[in-house]
Structure 1
Amino acid sequence: MTHKAIALFYGSSTCYTEMAAEKIAKYLGEDQVDVFNIADEPIVNAGFYRNVIMGIPTWDYGELQEDWEEIWDEIDTIDFSGKTVALFGLGDQVGYPEWFLDALGYLHAKLKANGATLVGYWPAEGYEFEQSKALTTDGEQFVGLALDEENEFDQSDQRIAIWCDSIKPHFHLDP
């Protein structure tokens, strides 16, 4: 089986994360990205790729989406050393301002502990929330692309385009 340059894994309950994943794959080039719904494809497939993107929504009070929760421990069986990983997360900064994108932060910590080289950090400026476990230690950036389809869906396409352009060099794609 021939693998494309990038594997994109996502979990989605309401289709918003799935739609974001499809937009990212389209922007980067569908000929470059294999897209996997973690509900249907084993996460261990990430081990076969050098370049990985993962998309995770945060549910309720900083909780993992159910498909991610199901495979959470399996992630620890994958050695991410030598792999370049970019993350994107979806959350609701108005409805859940104290837990905005927390699941993105949990995933980042897990991947970092498993040796991943993480890229694609995103400015926190312009978002309105109280707390997030997805912030870098200086609080200036999220550990991945931050999307809020509930309140700022009109900004998602532009954010995806800018973010994809920023990660292309890390994945050795033409700008």
Structure 2
Amino acid sequence: MSRIGLFFASSTGNTRRIAKAIKKRYDDDTMADALNVNKASPELVAGYSFLIFGTSTLGGGELPGLSTDCMGGGWEEFLPKLKDVDFTGKTVALFGLGNQDKYPDEFVDAMGEIYHFIVERGAKVVGAWSTEGYEFISSKALVDDEFVGLALDQENQKIQSDSRLNEWLKLIAPEFELPELG
């Protein structure tokens, strides 16, 4: 089994594309295929010591799910299934997508919801990301004036996403024992 589990939920496909871009950078021994949470189980998630979770933020700051046109379900349905998973000893990195122009009051809120859920269950979350270069009003994904993970805006700052992703992967690499990216 690969050492790192990579799970996401996406309503428009943008989060899936970022998850696939992460997976593409690593071999199968290092990282499992990017898997939509609607195809995952709590047992599968629990089997990994290293996890990367990705999510989009919808409308008024909601997690993607059946109510938000996420085919087969999303984090809204999957998080409650993880309520009995002990994340103690697990290292988790988060990435979240949002639209800071259209939804400046809830930019990447869903990433914050996942963060609080897993921290309450013992997870060590790595990969905090600076707010520099973003223009938003508020976010549930802020802790100590940093995002709890990589924040991406594919609608307004898509041109910066690849470089941000590369820098973030370098940032989490020591915690995940990841090889240097070429």
TM-score by length of 1: 0.94
Aligned partners of 2:113 and 2:137: how far apart in 1? 17
Percent identity among equivalent residues?
43
Aligned to 1:153: 158
Among 9, 12, 37, the alignment partner of 1:11 is: 9
Distance 1:46 1:119, change over 3 A: same
Distance 1:116 1:146, change over 3 A: same
TM superposition shift of 1:43: 3.9
Aligned partners of 1:56 and 1:124: how far apart in 2? 18
The answer to whether 1:125 aligns with 2:159 is no
The CA deviation string for residues 74-112 of structure 1, in whole angstroms up to 9 with x for no partner, is 121211000100000000000000000111111100110
Question: SS of the residue aligned with 1:76?
Answer: coil
Aligned to 1:24: 22
Distance 1:145 1:28, change over 3 A: farther
The CA deviation string for residues 43-97 of structure 1, in whole angstroms up to 9 with x for no partner, is 4311001100000111001111011111121121211000100000000000000
Aligned partners of 2:9 and 2:147: how far apart in 1? 19
Opposite residue 156 of structure 1, the aligned amino acid is: S
The CA deviation string for residues 12-47 of structure 1, in whole angstroms up to 9 with x for no partner, is 111100000011112244541112111122243110
Aligned to 2:170: 165
Question: SS of the residue aligned with 1:63?
Answer: coil
Structure 1 stretches of 4+ moved >2 Å? 27-31
Worse overlay, 21-30 or 59-68 = 21-30
Aligned to 1:109: 116
Structure 1 stretches lacking a partner, 5+ long: none
TM-score by length of 2: 0.90
Among 45, 70, 80, the alignment partner of 1:73 is: 80
User: Retained in 2: the 8 A contact 1:28–1:168?
Assistant: no
Q: Which has the higher strand share?
A: 1
Aligned partners of 1:99 and 1:45: how far apart in 2? 30
User: Retained in 2: the 8 A contact 1:94–1:129?
Assistant: yes
The CA deviation string for residues 115-166 of structure 1, in whole angstroms up to 9 with x for no partner, is 0011011101110000001011x32x10000010011111111111000111
Aligned to 1:49: 48
